[in-house]
Each structure stands twice: as structure tokens, then as C-alpha cells.
Structure 1
Amino acid sequence: MKRPNILFIMADQMAAPLLPLHDSASPIKVPNLQRLAAEGVLFDSAYCNSPLCAPSRFTLVSGQLPSQIGAYDNAADFPADVPTYAHYLRRLGYRTALSGKMHFCGPDQLHGYEERLTSDIYPADYGWSVNWDEPEVRASWYHNMSSVLQAGPCVRTNQLDFDEEVVFKAQQYLFDHVRMTPDQPFCLTVSMTHPHDPYTIPEEYWNRYSDDDIPLPRQVIDQAEQDPHSQRLLKVIDLWDKPLPEQKILDARRAYFGACSYIDDNIGKLLKTLKDCKLADDTIIVFSGDHGDMLGERGLWYKMHWFEMAARVPLLVHAPARFAAHRVNQSVSTVDLLPTLVELAGGQVEPGLHLDGRSLLPHLQGTGGHDEVLGEYMAEGTTSPLMMIRRGEWKFVYSEEDPLLLFNVANDPQERENLAESPDHREQVAALLDEARSRWDMPAIHQATLASQRRRRLVAEALTQGTLKSWDHQPMVDASEQYMRNHIDLDDLERRARFPQA
């Protein structure tokens, strides 16, 4: 029996709580995603395992938590010997391809993908290493508020250039598949960079909304009342003592909503290509994000915290012939995707290898499944590891240097009331703290993070001297094998290049 094709689509920095998939009052227009969700299995409580691009993605592709694989920040080296879902599926006979962003750092830019159809939008070197040795120094490459202050419509951006190429190359891959290798299953990952800031989008998408459609943040907390990590983030993003004009907040959110619609239109292009290539019935579609965006909620922007807007991601699996449409309420995370994809492909994970993720197959089949998320954050804005446990109604945020946070997310979805100091929850907090301390060796993780930062800063500085040897992926195209060439029989070329064949 032929293994199913898998199309794994990712969006960058898409905040699940804002989407109409999860909030019926949302004005965001994403009809293609809504159709996939209505026909598929939608996870209402899905999380990233680290609210930052590279750590989240390394965890997603490997099924292991950041501290297990050294995924500390956006310049962490991703070791080549860490198995990914691409390795597993390739071993099962799949063609594995990546079109778009995965933010791999280090000399291995494939990590099991047989092909990368584009370069990455972000650098592959160690230049964005965090420095806990100088916690008060604000690095020049940190986010600042220019994305908000310059928000509005545009004609073109770097990110539009990238995503246009990502989707075009993905469509070409599907066309090539049905013409060249229709009998071999594929796993194609299409990873776009929108709706990640900067908050700007062409007028076509800007004009799908008006200011009247755009809700302001539901709560803004004075900086003096913020938890210590939030206060550090306000300084990291250069927002401390710098209130934003309300109109710019609206502009940023409007552009973000437009970018979500842009992502949805691109999903529509991919779905049409599947249909045109007669692949729709034999392809499992998985859609996810890497983390969310605070978008002004609580006075915060971007990600880097464990609040719902930053940590919750959209996640759905569309395979109507296999799984009845339903919603999953249990909390799961993107670390669970590796074992899930392997099992969907008809394989099994290697029993002797460490894995933190757990298969979502029971959730997909409606037969139960786990209800727990573990999270780790060791990047900018922190001075020590900041961990999270999400289980049942509860979210617990743990650090040895910051005050504990405990929220009942079911009763308090805006996370307004920290119950960690409540006398009524003293025993619960003590039990969670004991669990966290037994689960994580915080001094060891702290020292490993520092050691990695110091190594990478030294190497990054050294590699700027002399001849630059880039690690950035260079997608090679052999023009001698494209289109019409004299060493290829013209009739045979035209026959093979046409789909369906005459």
C-alpha cells in the first residue's frame, strides 16, 4: 500500500487566540484555513515549546525539548546528528523537501531534507547569540519598535519576496512530482515567514480590513505592574518608558490581520495545486505555527514569553478519509509532531533514542491522548531558564530567579490573575514547584546555556575575520536541464513536461 503524501504548511508568528478558528468574533479572514479546520482535526490548545523562532523550530523538527538539543536561542547550533522527522520519513522512502524558513543555524542546512527549494530568510551563523554575561546590554540586533511605528501598507518587502518564492517553488515541486516521481510518496514542508513582523502588507490585504474592524488589545498593564520577565522584554524591545500612539497599535494589528489573510491566500494556491495535480485525496495536510505574537496585549509585542498570545499556535490535521472532523481540547505541542508524522507515514520512532514528543494519533482518532505541554526558554530577555508546564486548566511558569506564575487558563483566558501567591493554591504551587525541580536540573541547564553562548560568541567573532565562508543554504539550479535544451529530445521533453500527459 502506498504511503500517504504529507504537505506540512507553517506560518511564522501566527497567534492562535486571534484566529476565527478559535475565536468566533475574530474579524480575521482566513477561509481556506477555516475550511481545512472544519473538515479536519483542530487542536484548540496547541503550544510551541519555546516562544522564539529557532528554538521552537528545532524542537518541532526533532521532537526534543530545547535543553536536550542545545536550542537555546536564535543563533543556537542545531547538531547534525539529531534525528528529525525528515530523517525518519526519508528512511521510510519519502522524498523530503523544504521550501522556506526553518532557521537552521550551523553548517548543516538540510537536517534530513533531501532538497531545500529556497534559501532561508534568516542567517545561519552565530551572530544573534544571546549574552547572559552582560544582561543589561541591549544588543543592536534585538527587536525594536520600528515594526510598529512604521506599520502600514506597502508595495514590496523582503518578506513578500521570500514568501512569493517559497510558494512558487512549492507549487513547482508538486508539478514536478506528478510528472517525474508520482509513485514515490513525498513530505513537502512549506514554511512561510508571514505574519511575522514588520507589520506591513500590500494594499490589497490592508484594504480587506478597516480600522473599525481592528480591536485594540484587551488589556494593557502598566510597566511597573508587569512581572520581571515582561519588564525585561519591554527593555529588550526598546519600549520601556516609550508609550505607543494608539493609531500605530491599530495600524500594526491591521497589517498583521492582512498578513494572516495573505498566508491564507497562499494556502489556497497550494490547495488548488494539489487538486489540479490530482493529489488532494492522497495527501495529509498539516498546518502549524512556530509561536505567536503578543500584538500589544499586556503592553507587550512579539513573543518571548509564556502568555497565551505568544505561546499558543494554530495546529490542524486535514485527512478526512482517515479522521472524522472534530476539535481536540487537550493541551498538546509542536514537539509532538515528529512521532505523529512518522506514524501517519506508517513508521515507528526508534525505541532506543530519546524523544520528548508524544504521538497525536490518539487525539486524531478520538480515542484520548495526553494533556500536557512542557516549555523551555533560555533566550533574550532572560537571565536564567524560564520553564512552563501546561496541564488541564493550569499553566505554571517557573524560574529560580523570577517569581512564580500560575494561571487558570480555563477561567482566566486573559491571564489577569496570578494565583501563585494565593493561599488557596499553596499546596498546588508547592507540588508544581517540586515537579519542575525534579524535571529540570536548572543549575546544569543554566551553565550549559552560558557555555554555549560563550563558545558561539567567540566563534562568531573569529569567523568575521578573513575570508567569509557562508553557511547560508545555496539552492542550486542546473539550467542545462531546464526548459528546452538541445541534448534532450524535444518530443520526449514536451511529453514528460505536460500534465496530464496527452
Structure 2
Amino acid sequence: MSSQRKTPASRNLLFILSDEHDPRYMGCSGADWMHTPNLDRLAQRGTRFTNAYTPSPICVPARAGLATGRWTHHTGYWDNAIAYEGRWTSWHHRLAQAGVRTESIGKLHYRQASDPTGFGAQHEPLHILDGIGLVWGSVRSPLPATRGRSPIFDELGAGESSYNRYDQRVADLACDWIHERGHESGREGGDAPWALFVGFVAPHMPLVVPDGWLSKYPLDGIPAPKLSGPDDVRHPWVERLKRHWDHDAALGTDDRRRLARACYFGLISFMDAQVGRLLSALKEQGFEDNTTVIYSADHGDNLGARGLWNKSTLYRESTSVPMILAGPGIPQASVRQTNVNLVDVYPTALAACQVPVLEEERDLAGQSLVALAAQPDDPARLGFSEYHAVGSASAAYMVARNGFKYHHYVGHAPELFHLETDPEECINLAGDPRYAGELESLQAALRAMLDPDAVDRQAKRDQDDLIARFGGRDKALTRGNAGPTPMHEKYRLV
């Protein structure tokens, strides 16, 4: 009589989060010129979601949504000066309360390490600067005419930055942590479940990358970004965002633009190598068969499209994130087109560590990715993102469903794109009467979730209150880092 091998159940979670990774730049997503062997193998071992979105295309609100499983308009973490501090229950709280050893290594971008955010320990955490973050970015009513010259490309090219050194250290610590759990597994009480959050900063600027990775992307093979010519017209809301802080002007030349894109690709490959080290450690310690692995990012990067760099827009370059899920019970070499979001990680973490959902958690925005991976594609599931932060004179909301993607800008005309025929979002169909039904349907879906104008007013009230606490508009405009969050002194070269 033959016996069938039983698939082990998941009891551990390894969650890997990069920063600013547009998911189209992986080999497994069709960019066969990208060098991402480890993410490609992870996708082969599990399920990749092609339509994954951030709750907000900027670091701090995105990470708050990831932690709490709730939308930005629900929690009020509007921008990079209003950071997660433990006020709302996180999946880290819930796992720890259930007896799961839950720790973090690397970037979190919460308010500060002393806040009760649910981790039993935070190793080498990176949070918002001085616990206050980008205060000047909260000045939105009215929005200043310009922030002046952008400094984000002051560092650019081959080399080694403090961020590179930090990511290597994060990978070192994470591998050591996994090995320690493996060594404990043979001891009494050492078989307890665990969850590890690993936060890398790559491919976030500064766009400095060790030469061995940069050389994989010769400059003569780097294409120009789309819709970046002098005659290309931007939506008025987007044009206002660009005028507020013109990163493209700071680059200045096409050669520097090509170099910036090459560095971004090189940083993705550099980060992929760090991910590979973690996955190797997981396999070496015998955890591959009982651990759910999730790889994602907090948001994407415009990377020169429409003359824009950094994040903060509703286009797919900015709102899309990678979402790869692998582990026990996850379909292998599978691709799902169902819309998913970082808010889905909360119930996924509970499922991965076999922690029951509480009654009060049934109103969370998300659904377990483990369940969604096992189901047929659901084109009607709503994709959503919103933006209330630096550079925006008014709120912006994105809704996607049934192959269409709708952008709602408070005070401006909308945008509508058909993703099947126009995946690069170059043709705005909002004014085309043939698509009036789709436009009205998505407008209704947005208004069923929230009142766009009322949420815009609430965000600005909260931000105005923050500005008042810092002594008013003029003083607030001087508070906060100008470029990337500064790294710990020990990662800087003297």
C-alpha cells in the first residue's frame, strides 16, 4: 500500500521588504535583461501577484498600512511626518501575543524604536529622523510654490554608500538570526514558531551601487523613460507635484538620467543578492518546508517616466509593488492577476503562523494572500491607493477593477486607463464617451469607500495641527531631512 507524503504546514514567516522597487524590474516579471536570480527562483517556488499595490505611494503611510492592515484614510498616517507608533494593532502585535517569536531586522520607518509596535526586538532599525520625519512635507494648505533644488541625486554612480553597507549588515544579521533559530530547534522549547521582518533600503536613493552590480547594466543599453520629452503634457495635478520639487531638473542631462536608471537596476540586483543569502540560510536550517516567505516593497519609483522621479503619483510606476509568496500550500510557478495590496499582509501573517482571526479583525481591509493564491483570478477585486503627502496640493485616489484603472484628483479632472490595451497608462480615456460606464462604475466604487473631499479636508486639518505644534508654517518648512533618511553614523565612511 503506497503512502502519500504530507505537505508540512507553515508555522513560520519570513517577510522581506525592499524600498521603492517597481515590480516590472525582475526577470520573473518579463524583464529578462534584469539580473534577479533569487527573486526569480522564489517566484518559481511560489505565486507571484502581477497586480499588487501599495496603500499609499510614499514610505511612512505605506508601511503603516502594511503593519495595521488598514487604509491611510482610516488610520490617519497621512505622510512622512505622521508615522506608525503602535496606536493601531499590527500583525506584529498579534503574532507576539499568540506566542510567536516576532522580531525585525532593518528598516521599518515607524516613529521610533521605543514605541510599542509589537516586535519583541528591533535589530538595527531605521525610523523617521529624530522621531519627527519630513515635517516640511506636511505643509500642503497651501502648498509652497517650490521646494527648491532637489538633492536626491547629489550622490550618483558607482561606489558604496551608507545604504549599501546597511543592507549588507541587515542581511548578515538576518542570516545569523535564522541560523540561531535552526540551532535552537533541537533544544527543549526550541521548536516554537517565529516571524522575522527584514527591511532593506535598496533600491531607494541615493542611487549609488557597487561597481560589480552597476556594470551589469551598460549605459548604452538603457532606454529613455516614457513620456519624458519636452512636448509631453502632464496631468495638472502631476504637473503641480513636479513643480514643487523637480528631481528631473537636478539630473540635468540625458547621460545622468541613463546613469540614474542603470544605478536603480544595479541596486535591485544588489538587493536580490541579499535576498538570496536569506533564502539560502532558510534552506540550510531546514525551514524551507515550514515557512511562508513573502517578498514585497513599500512602493515603486517613477524612474523618469513623465519627467518624474521618486514616488508620490498614482501611476503604476509608483503604486505597484512586487508581491511574491512561497511556502507550504502555496501553488508553485503560479501567476495571479487578482488585485492585492500591502494591507493583505496582516491576515496573511496570521495564516502563515496559524493564528486565528479575531472577531474585531473581520473588518480589516485585506484578505489572506495564501487563500487568494489558491483561488482563480478575481478581476472584480478592488485595487486601491491614496496620496495625501509631500508635493500634493489635494488628495489623489486610485481604484482598479476589471482591467481598468481610475485616478481621482480632488479639484481636477480624472484619468482612466485600460490596462490590457494600455499597460503603460499613456492614453487617458476619462473623456471618451465610450468608456462612460466604466468611469461611473469606478467613481461609485471610490465613493462607496470614502468621501474624497471630506478625507482631503481631514488630512489637511491633521497636518495643519502638526504644523502648529512645530511653531507654524515658516518653522515647519525648516524641519525634516531634505533627502533620504540619514543612516547611522557607523555606516558612513569617515
* Cα distance between partner residues in 1 of 2:370 and 2:401: 19
Match for 1:177: what amino acid? R
In structure 2, do the counterparts of structure 1 residues 78 and 175 end up closer, same or farther at CA, with 3 Å as the change threshold? same
Alpha-carbon distance in 2 for matches of 1:324, 1:160: 32
Q: 1:190-245 CA distances to partner (integer Å, 9 max, x unpaired)? A: 11000011111011111222123322213325477110122122123325877831
Query: Partners in 1 of 2:9 and 2:97 — Cα distance?
Result: 15
2:156 to 145, 151, 157: 151
Could you tell me how far apart the structure 2 residues matched to 1:216 and 1:287 are?
28
Asked whether the equivalents of residues 69 and 78 of structure 1 are also in contact (C-alpha less than 8 Å), the reply is: no
Aligned to 2:173: 169
CA contact (8 A) 1:386 1:399 kept: yes
Could you say what secondary structure the match of 2:50 adopts?
strand
In the TM superposition, what are the counterparts of 1:185-334 in structure 2 within 5 Å? Answer: 185-222=193-230, 225-239=233-247, 244-319=252-327, 322-334=330-342
Distance, in Å, in 2 between the alignment partners of 1:124 and 1:431 is: 44
- 1:96 and 2:96 aligned: no
CA distance in 2, matches of 1:368, 1:426: 25
Distance (Å, rounded) in 1 between the aligned partners of 2:248 and 2:172: 41
Assess, with a 3 A threshold, how the Cα gap between structure 1 residues 145 and 135 changes in structure 2: closer, same or farther.
closer
Give 2:175's aligned amino acid.
Q
Write the deviation string for residues 238-275 of structure 1: whole angstroms up to 9, x where unpaired.
25877831111110111111101111110111122222
Q: Which moved more, 1:219-228 or 1:259-268?
A: 219-228
Q: Which residue of 2 aligns with 1:160?
A: 164
Change (3 A) 1:116 1:394: same
1:40 aligns with 2:49: no
Q: Counterparts of 1:461 and 1:439 in 2: how far apart (Å)?
A: 35
CA contact (8 A) 2:416 2:430 kept: yes
Of 446, 449, 452, the residue aligned with 1:442 is 452
C-alpha contact (below 8 Å) 2:107/2:199 kept by paired residues: yes
Superposed counterparts of 1:56-205, under 5 Å:
56-105=62-111, 109-120=115-126, 122-123=128-129, 125-129=131-135, 130-139=138-147, 145-148=150-153, 150-154=155-159, 156-180=160-184, 182-205=190-213
- TM-superposed deviation, 1:160: 1.5
Count of aligned pairs: 462
Q: 1:118 to 1:301 in 2, by over 3 A?
A: same
Structure 2 gaps, min length 5: 1-7, 477-484, 489-494
The separation in 2 between residues aligned to 1:223 and 1:9, in whole angstroms, is 40
Q: Which of 22, 30, 36 is equivalent to 1:23?
A: 30
Contact kept in structure 1, 2:19 and 2:202, CA below 8 Å: yes
1:98–1:115 Cα contact (<8 Å) kept: yes
SS in 2 for 1:193: coil
Q: How does 1:321-400 map to 2 (within 5 A)?
A: 322-353=330-361, 354-367=363-376, 371-400=381-410
Contact 2:241 2:391 in 1 (8 A): yes
Secondary structure of the 1:17 match is: coil
Aligned mates of 1:389, 1:58 — CA distance in 2? 20
3-state SS of the aligned residue for 2:131?
A: coil
Bigger mean CA offset, 437-446 vs 216-225: 216-225
C-alpha distance in structure 1 between counterparts of 2:230 and 2:427, whole Å? 15
One-letter amino acid matched to 1:55: P
TM superposition shift of 1:78: 2.3
In structure 2, distance between residues paired with 1:368 and 1:86: 29
Task: State the TM-score, normalized to the length of structure 1.
Answer: 0.85
Evaluate the alpha carbon distance shift between residue 105 and residue 14 of structure 1 in structure 2; reply closer, same or farther with a 3 A threshold. same
8 Å contact kept, 1:86–1:111: yes
Give 1 or 2 for the bigger CA radius of gyration. 1
CA distance in 1, matches of 2:344, 2:52: 10
Quote the Cα distance in structure 1 between the aligned partners of 2:218 and 2:44: 27
**SS in structure 1 at match of 2:397:** strand
Which structure 2 residues correspond to residues 403-442 of structure 1 after superposition, within 5 A?
A: 403-442=413-452
Secondary structure of 1:184's partner? coil
Q: Render the CA deviation track for 1:110-151: whole Å, top value 9, x for unaligned.
A: 5111110112064252341311223124347xxx55444642
Q: What amino acid is the match of 1:87?
A: H
C-alpha separation between the residues in 2 aligned to 1:401 and 1:356?
Answer: 27
Cα drift, residue 107 of structure 1: 7.2
Q: Is it true that 1:454 corresponds to 2:464 in the alignment? A: yes
Tell me which amino acid in the other structure corresponds to 2:290.
Answer: D
* Deviation sequence 1:82-115 (CA, Å, 0-9, x none): 1111112112221111111121126754511111
Task: List gaps (5 residues or longer) in structure 1.
Answer: 466-471, 476-502
Map 1:490-501; keep pairs closer than 5 Å.
none
The normalised TM-score by structure 2 is 0.87
Contact persistence 1:148–1:249 (CA under 8 A)? no
Cα distance, 1:124–1:391 mapped onto 2, change above 3 Å: farther
